[in-house]
Chains A and B, each alone.
Chain A
């Protein structure tokens, strides 16, 4: 397998570092006249899609390189195919979600174990949740197409991210709480979510569990929140919610 890094030269490392630091012009300046290897062509195209102002012309130049690279049989091919799909989803002035979905699907079919194919499946699932729902079946389950893709994802962190997205989409699409809650719990179990998203998720599972009539689960999450964030702004309200959960549990026991 040839990754860009496997054939890394100091110049290429500098190019990736410049891209990490949002300096695509530096990369173009160096690689505009000399990009013979596949990794160099990938770096040039990535810089081309990032340079400001973003224009469709720039995206087309990047896409022609991605298309050529995607025809190979290495990790660069997977990266390029993934980025080509991203162009259609996000970077062209007018998104083409159907085309992006088609490219994600093709990548997953060709190189199912590649990280970029796996990441593409997460993005494909989100397209299916929000902008490409299955309208051929009346009353179709809105979460099912994304759940079907979940079975093809083997990387735990990406499984987590998709579980979280299915759960959040379930709320937005007004799906039954008991249908979406297992996805939120699954995302939490994988762990590693940082920042306010982590805090929000703990509160969310607690509150939605209480609303769904799952007081034991609600209690667990409220207690966890109070242990992790004892002084936080929501702690006072959560103590009240915890009392409600305990009351519901008592009522269940006495039945």
Chain B
């Protein structure tokens, strides 16, 4: 009897193995819960919060759409994501939806090559907003900033390529108990000079007590973020001078061309003033911070070895969940014309705008499931979808009509003021950024000086900046060339039969965008030719 049972068990096992093998070799999909369509969504927001927020939205979406499965791919950002993204896209294996950022060096050509414009879809209401305050409003206008970033970062001036799912600002997060211990007060700095005084007190306290404490938690990332903020203040006047087109906004190509024309350099007094402020910030961080990453700064802060950490509100959930002490977000005050050190170079208070939305998600042009991917994007950026994201991530929403939880409400209190340039003069091109980083050490340490740093930059920048402007022009043409065949093909589809009005609108939109981009390429070419012999 026992022997028969064993034999039966053996045959049952063998049968199960056979069925499993058959399934694996012929289907390669899960036995249960199979859905006809799987879309993949890749992003690098692996901090505490966003993966939970996206997962909650996916769960609800899959309930509403039983045909579709959405996979969330979390890929570490700073080091891996750009290479991972490029190799997957080039190999035709890119996910259906992907995050991309203008600041990712060496990837500026990606949207033009691989992403699909969403302009036409954005002009229509988002169906998932039915029954909400955003019903019947064009999708584009349901975003808190009407997609400022994707419109600005579009490779094609007439098109919008992405939608955003959150909104971030940058704040000083303070270990309030430590601040009180050192300064005797918990008051937030009201002026930039107040902040400077606090940093001096921290330095003095550390020297007196022998405790390892710095004003700012240090890392390369956090250092660059704070540098960008303080650098911008004195640059407002320079930017205004360079704004020939009258945009009240300086595009990288204009700043690069103006350098080649000799209209500014790193010895321009206001630029030197900006670098002086960067030096002050760097001195408040631990030596060697440039070798450290963002996580190192977080650990330094969690260990109670820094009073402040300057980071985006994207780290707020992590800070709140992992700190053993009370963390209070504060605004880093803008440098103003009455600042005792650099005030004479400052034309007015710098503004943070009214909240630019971020975490821009793009649709892969070669996606096998474009319609489904677009549909999920609509859900994620609808009032109910974005509410799920916000509630489960602790991040601000990007969409109007979403309730903001109390604990993050103050992230939306923005400093109003001049906003004339999107980027300080350290990140307006990838080549020039490399030169900046290679020489940054000249500003640091006991023997670091602004003059020495500026000398080194002005020695190397003409070549680097020329290359950056050439790259800008090349990237623009990269977009323009393939449009010829797409425009002609769209015109043919528009002509029918039957005539297709939507294709006709698309054709004329593309023609307008292509002409604008060609104009920009010509302008850059002219600038390069005009300044060819200059050093």
Contact = CB atoms under 8 A, between A and B. Distances in A.
Pairing of A with B: yes
Contacts of A19: 485-486, 488-489
A164 B516 contact: yes
**Residue among B477, B481, B484, B488 with max Cβ neighbours from chain A (10 Å):** B488
Given A16-B489, A169-B519, A211-B246, A195 B151 contact: yes
Residue in B148, B248, B355 with the greatest tally of chain A CB atoms within 10 Å: B248
Contact of A16 (B355, B493, B513, B525): B493
A237 to B, nearest CB: 5
A31 interface: no
A171 B257 CA distance: 14
B119 A195 contact: yes
Contacts of B532: none
Interface string A226-243: 000101111111100100
Interface string A1-31: 0011110100011001101111010000000
Contact of A234 (B249, B366, B493): B249
A157 B354 CA distance: 33
A160 B158 CA distance: 14
Interface string B54-69: 0000000000000000
B148 A197 contact: no
Nearest to B524: A172
B246 A207 contact: yes
Given A16-B493, A194-B119, A232 B511 contact: no
A79 interface: yes
A115 B215 CA distance: 65
B519 A195 contact: no
Contacts of A165: 515-516, 519
Interface string B141-172: 00011101001101001111000000000000
A108 interface: no
Nearest to B526: A130
Given A19-B489, A161-B512, A196 B152 contact: yes
A232 B159 contact: no
Contacts of A237: 248, 351, 418-420
A41 interface: no
A253 B159 CA distance: 42
Contacts of A172: 523, 526
B340 interface: no
Contacts of A129: 522
Given A172-B526, A195-B119, A197-B157, A5 B496 contact: yes
A86 interface: yes
Q: How many B residues touch the partner, as a band?
A: 35 or more
Given A16-B489, A46-B485, A22 B365 contact: yes
Contacts of B485: 19, 24, 46-47, 49-50
A153 interface: no
A214 interface: no
Contact of A3 (B354, B417, B492): B492
A117 interface: no
Interface in A83-100: 83, 86, 90-91
Contacts of B157: 195-197, 200
A105 B25 CA distance: 62
A34 interface: no
Contacts of B16: none
Interface in B472-487: 477, 480-482, 484-486
Contacts of B145: 231-233
Q: Which among A6, A22, A158, A229 has the greatest number of chain B C-beta atoms within 10 A?
A: A22
Nearest to B243: A207
B509 interface: yes
Interface residues of A, number: 68
Interface in A42-67: 43, 46-47, 49-50, 54
B493 A194 contact: no
B247 A204 contact: yes
B151 A16 contact: no
Contacts of B152: 196
B490 A236 contact: no
A188 B49 CA distance: 44
Contacts of A196: 151-152, 154, 157
Contacts, number: 178
Nearest to B144: A231
A115 B492 CA distance: 12
B515 A3 contact: no
Contacts of B207: none
A168 B245 contact: yes
A20 B145 CA distance: 31
Contact of A171 (B119, B244, B489): B244
A188 to B, nearest CB: 13
Nearest to A239: B416
Contacts of B484: 49-50, 83, 86, 90-91
Nearest to B510: A20
A23 B433 CA distance: 36
A4 B492 contact: yes
A203 B485 CA distance: 33
Interface in A196-220: 196-197, 199-200, 203-204, 206-208, 211
B373 to A, nearest CB: 15
A254 B152 CA distance: 41
Given A8-B497, A193-B512, A234 B248 contact: yes
Given A129-B522, A169-B519, A195 B495 contact: no
A46 B488 contact: yes
B497 A233 contact: no
A122 interface: yes
Contacts of B490: 16, 20
Given A22-B482, A131-B522, A231-B145, A241 B160 contact: no
Given A49-B484, A233-B249, 4 more contacts: A3-B495, A17-B493, A172-B526, A206-B246
Q: Would you list the 4 A-B pairs with minimal beta carbon distance, nearest first?
A: A207-B246, A233-B353, A19-B489, A5-B495
Interface of A: 3-6, 8, 12-13, 16-17, 19-22, 24, 39, 43, 46-47, 49-50, 54, 79, 83, 86, 90-91, 115, 119, 122-123, 126, 129-131, 157-158, 160-161, 164-165, 168-169, 171-172, 192-197, 199-200, 203-204, 206-208, 211, 229, 231-238, 241
20 contacts: A5-B492, A5-B495, A16-B492, A86-B484, A91-B481, A123-B518, A126-B515, A126-B518, A130-B523, A157-B512, A161-B511, A161-B516, A165-B516, A168-B523, A171-B245, A193-B512, A199-B151, A204-B246, A231-B354, A233-B351
